[in-house]
């Protein structure tokens, strides 16, 4: 039988050398771990090692012993309130106070037992003390977990500040250079575009983890060949791997690997695993992607020859904001959210993901296991429709309170040949829409006057189905999309939206005759 941990034991300090072992024996017979202390100093030494309760005879606290125990109790950690069961001296009167009680009452969690004490009373008092101590242990663990969460939060906020300042700094500098030297426009606008995409990706990662953890991600499932999203993810990563001086290899089965899943989310899973491997593998290393079809499941393994994972980190590698400690980790930045997203998305697909590593410097392997599709025929999957041909000129209303966002959106729409009317708040947006009868209304949600949801409702009521309502907003949660749909919007776009996506939405709007 395994020996109980020190923190679960009772330490006994009895008045005589004989009483201690007898009392400890009674406790052990009841299944309670017990150890005997010969004096107060040894009692405190044993308490330092761990204990759930102390059984102390009042006589043992004479000659300064009570002060020693009191001092120990005063130095406990905030979560700790060690239960002390104090035996009064034999023959004490019913109203007499225990010297130990007087000394410890203000500093200890003391229960008095008059001697002689019945065994059942002793065991009952000790059992109650143990239950109280276990509650304290739970509080200790909760406080420790809270402390870890606070430290993780602080590390995350520091990391987030670092990651946001980098692209913001680049955008700010590029903007200053354009002002000072308009001839450098092309190079600096490419920097602004690249860093803006990075900022958007950071925000998207934060929101994605929140949505996955709260169960608000709805998969667009269909039966697909898993080789296709894996191939797309690998091809997208090839330039990055080459730039990092890495070899990227693959091993795929010849026959199809049908799974029931969301192709976009599965591509996101593979892409995050590959990005993680590239990030933590030094130049000259190798990354391999192995797809294996089994009887009822499929295994996807991404292995690398990188910096590896320490055993203590291996158990926490899929938690948000966890990153390996290495000089390589800051080279490409990130918030440590990629693997947390992988775990959540794989779980939504009914699969599992596991990390393995022989230790620091010995590479790592991540394996995703998904169930094979049990029905559906890949040959019958619908083909991806061809992009629509450019449409005719549209009459577009833009309702946006931010001047820079409004101006750039107008410039973008006019560059596609559309006619644009603008408004900067909710009431003027409705008036402009009713007066101009646009074919498309692009509306921000956070507007002064009244919000974009109300703008959408009023425009839909006034114009009916003759207008395509587009919400272009920084609110991108699932409930925001639902509210937009309920308000009458046809499309919900999250800022920053790609120019090609905005153009496509506008061009697909029904064309009406100009009045």
Terminal Cα-to-Cα distance of the chain (whole angstroms) = 91
In 3-state terms, what secondary structure has residue 273? helix
Half-sphere exposure of 480 (CA within 13 A, CB side): 19
Summarize the confidence of residues 163-190 as an average pLDDT. 80
Classified by CATH at the fold level, domain 395-507 comes out as Rossmann fold (3.40.50)
pLDDT at 319: 76
What CA–CA distance (Å, rounded) separates 109 from 95?
Answer: 21
Encoding tokens for residue 32?
């309670």
| Whole-Å CA distances, 145 to 136, 153, 433, 452 | 14, 12, 54, 41
pLDDT at 226: 95
What CA–CA distance (Å, rounded) separates 341 from 368?
Answer: 13
pLDDT at 265: 85
* Of 7 and 99, more confident: 7
**Residue 330 predicted with pLDDT over 50:** no
Percent over 90 (pLDDT), the chain: 44
CATH architecture of 222-374: 2-Layer Sandwich (3.30)
Highest averaged pLDDT of the listed ranges 315-329, 473-487, 489-503: 489-503
Q: Which superfamily is assigned to 6-142 in CATH?
A: Response regulator (3.40.50.2300)
Residue 99, Cβ neighbours under 10 Å: how many? Answer: 17
Express each pLDDT in 373-398 by its tens digit: 864 433 433 343 333 345 578 999 99
pLDDT at 420: 94
Burial of 325 (0-12, 13-18, 19+ CB in 10 A): exposed
The mean-pLDDT minimum among 342-356, 417-431, 469-483 falls in 469-483
Percent over 70 (pLDDT), the chain: 83
| Whole-Å CA distances, 73 to 9, 54, 79, 280, 286 | 17, 11, 12, 49, 58
What residues does each domain of the chain span? 6-142, 222-374, 395-507
Express each pLDDT in 8-32 by its tens digit: 999 999 877 788 899 999 999 999 9
Alpha carbon 385 to its chain's center: 36
Summarize the confidence of residues 331-354 as an average pLDDT. 78
What CA–CA distance (Å, rounded) separates 36 from 18?
Answer: 11
Supply the DSSP symbol for 377.
-
Do the domains 6-142 and 222-374 sit in the same CATH topology, yes or no? no
Express each pLDDT in 227-272 by its tens digit: 999 999 999 899 889 999 999 999 999 889 999 998 888 998 999 8
Burial of 91 (0-12, 13-18, 19+ CB in 10 A): exposed
pLDDT band at 481 (very low <50, low <70, confident <90, very high): confident
**Residue 423 predicted with pLDDT over 80:** yes
**Residue 448 predicted with pLDDT over 70:** yes
pLDDT band at 210 (very low <50, low <70, confident <90, very high): low
Beta strand 34-36 with 83-87 is unpaired
Q: Which helix (H) or strand (E) holds 299?
A: strand 297-304
**Residue 97 predicted with pLDDT over 80:** no
Express each pLDDT in 457-466 by its tens digit: 999 999 998 8
Query: Of 32, 93, 39, which is closest to residue 64 (Cα–Cα)?
Result: 39
Encoding tokens for residue 330?
């800051």
Using alpha carbons only, how large is the chain's radius of gyration in Å? 34
pTM over 0.75: no
pLDDT band at 1 (very low <50, low <70, confident <90, very high): very low
pLDDT band at 444 (very low <50, low <70, confident <90, very high): very high
DSSP per-residue string spanning 169-235:
HHHHHHHHHHHH-GGGHHHHHHHHHHHHHHHHHHHHHHHHHHHHHTT-PPP--EEEETHHHHHHHHH
Rounded to the nearest integer, the mean pLDDT of the chain is 83
Encoding tokens for residue 491?
């499309």
């Amino acid at each position: 039988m395994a020996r109980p941990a020190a923190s679960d034991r009772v330490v006994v300090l009895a008045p005589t050398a004989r009483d201690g072992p007898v009392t400890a024996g009674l406790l052990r017979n009841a299944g309670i771990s017990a150890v005997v202390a010969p004096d107060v100093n040894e009692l405190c030494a044993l308490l330092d090692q761990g204990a759930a309760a102390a059984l102390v005879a009042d006589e043992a606290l004479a000659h300064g012993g009570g002060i020693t125990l009191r001092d120990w109790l005063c130095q406990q950690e905030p979560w700790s309130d060690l239960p002390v069961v104090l035996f009064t001296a034999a023959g004490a009167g019913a109203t007499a106070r225990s010297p130990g009680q007087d000394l410890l009452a203000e500093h200890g969690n003391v229960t008095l037992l008059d001697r002689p004490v019945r065994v059942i009373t002793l065991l009952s008092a000790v059992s109650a003390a143990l239950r109280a101590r276990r509650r304290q242990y739970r509080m200790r663990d909760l406080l420790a977990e809270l402390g870890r969460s606070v430290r993780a939060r602080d590390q995350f906020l520091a990391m987030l500040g670092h990651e946001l300042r980098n692209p913001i700094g680049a955008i700010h500098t590029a903007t200053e250079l354009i002002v000072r030297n308009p001839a450098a426009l092309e190079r600096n606008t490419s920097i602004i575009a690249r860093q803006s995409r990075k900022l958007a990706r950071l925000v998207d990662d934060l929101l994605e983890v929140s949505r996955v953890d709260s169960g608000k991600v709805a998969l667009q499932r269909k039966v697909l060949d898993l080789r296709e999203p894996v191939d797309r993810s690998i091809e997208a990563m090839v330039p990055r791997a080459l730039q990092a001086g890495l070899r990227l290899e693959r091993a795929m089965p010849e026959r199809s690997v049908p799974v029931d899943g969301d192709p976009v989310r599965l591509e996101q899973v593979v892409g995050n695993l590959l990005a993680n491997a590239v990030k933590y593998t030094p130049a000259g290393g190798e990354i391999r992607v192995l797809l294996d079809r089994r009887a009822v499941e499929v295994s996807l393994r991404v292995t690398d020859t990188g910096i590896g994972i320490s055993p203590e980190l291996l158990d926490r590698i899929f938690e948000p904001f966890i990153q390996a400690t290495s000089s390589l980790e800051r080279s490409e930045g990130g918030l440590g959210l990629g693997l947390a997203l992988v775990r959540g998305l794989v779980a939504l697909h009914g699969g599992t993901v596991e990390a393995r590593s022989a230790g620091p410097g010995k590479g790592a392997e991540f394996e995703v296991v998904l169930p094979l599709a049990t029905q559906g025929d890949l040959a019958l999957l619908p083909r991806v429709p061809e992009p629509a041909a450019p449409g005719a000129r549209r009459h577009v209303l833009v309702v946006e309170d931010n001047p820079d966002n409004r101006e750039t959106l107008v410039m973008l729409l006019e560059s596609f040949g559309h006619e644009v009317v603008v408004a900067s708040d909710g009431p003027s947006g409705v008036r402009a829409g009713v007066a101009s009868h646009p074919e498309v209304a692009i509306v921000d949600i956070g507007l002064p006057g009244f919000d974009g949801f109300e703008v959408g409702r009023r425009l839909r009521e006034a114009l009916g189905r003759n207008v395509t309502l587009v919400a272009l907003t920084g609110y991108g949660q699932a409930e925001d999309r639902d509210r937009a749909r309920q308000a009458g919007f046809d499309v919900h776009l999250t800022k920053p939206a790609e120019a090609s996506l905005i153009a496509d939405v506008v061009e697909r709007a029904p064309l009406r005759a100009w009045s």
